[in-house]
Amino acid sequence: MTTFAAIASKRGAFADMDKAAIDVAKALARLSELTNFELRGEWRRLHRMPPPMRLSRDLLTRGVTYKLQERAYGGLSTATTRKLAQAAADPLGRGAAKPAPPISLKPGTRLVREWRGVTHTALIHADGIEWRGQRYRSLSVVARKITGARWSGPRFFGLRRRQLDSYSSARAGHGEG
């Protein structure tokens, strides 16, 4: 901080800034001195519409700050505006992450999990899950019976996608032979 003060006193606080940057810096410094009423007026002037009713002072300041900088330095490029519009219109389009497909278990699959020293085996049927000779409607119900707490059944039995991916990538690094 003392280094900045020494430089600022030798060359002036805005010596390395162009005129637009100086004007923006002064305007931004002035924002903290405005009352909420004045800040809302500044929003109206810059956005050409009233601010939302219960917008916090922080968000009002951010909105005014953005508009001041946009006017001084220019807004988003045409290409960026077009990409944002495409992303908003098609959120699952190219480049966007697609949701992982649900894990489907075929009848006859056995899921084995050790919990507190006891090995539990759940058998998948077409109409539910069998555990200890009883049928349950979901893995989560079985996990709850085993642990006594609310668990995600797929998570409890290690079926979450990221767990499977990390397991398979770890196994890929260990070649056989």
Secondary structure (DSSP) of 8-60: HHHH-TTTTS-HHHHHHHHHHHHHTTS-HHHHHHHHHHHHSSPPPTT--HHHH
Last residue of one domain, picked from the residues 59, 89, 119? 89
- Same domain, yes or no: 6 and 85: yes
Q: What angle do CA 102, 107, 110 make, to 5 degrees?
A: 90
The neighbouring-strand residues paired with 42 are: none
Place of tokens 């979450």: 160
Please name which of 150, 147, 151, 163 lies closest in space to residue 103, comparing C-alpha atoms. Answer: 163
Q: Are residues 83 and 117 in the same domain?
A: no
Among 25-34, 51-60, 88-97, 151-160, the range scoring the smallest mean pLDDT is: 88-97
Judgement on whether residues 43 and 121 belong to the same structural domain of the protein: no
Query: CA gyration radius for the chain?
Result: 30
Same domain, 85 and 117: no
Which domain, by its residues, includes 158?
A: 110-172
Q: Is residue 77 part of a domain?
A: yes
- Read off the pLDDT of residues 23-67 as tens digits, 9 standing for 90 and up: 888 888 898 899 999 999 999 999 999 999 989 999 999 999 999
Evaluate if pTM is beyond 0.75: no
Out of 54, 89, 124, pick the residue that ends a domain: 89
User: Residue 154 in contact with residue 103, Cβ under 8 Å?
Assistant: yes
Report whether 23 contacts 69 (CB < 8 A). no
Q: Are residues 164 and 114 in the same domain?
A: yes
Give a yes or no: residue 44 inside a domain.
yes
pLDDT at 173 over 60: no
Is residue 85 within 8 Å of residue 72, measured between CB atoms? no
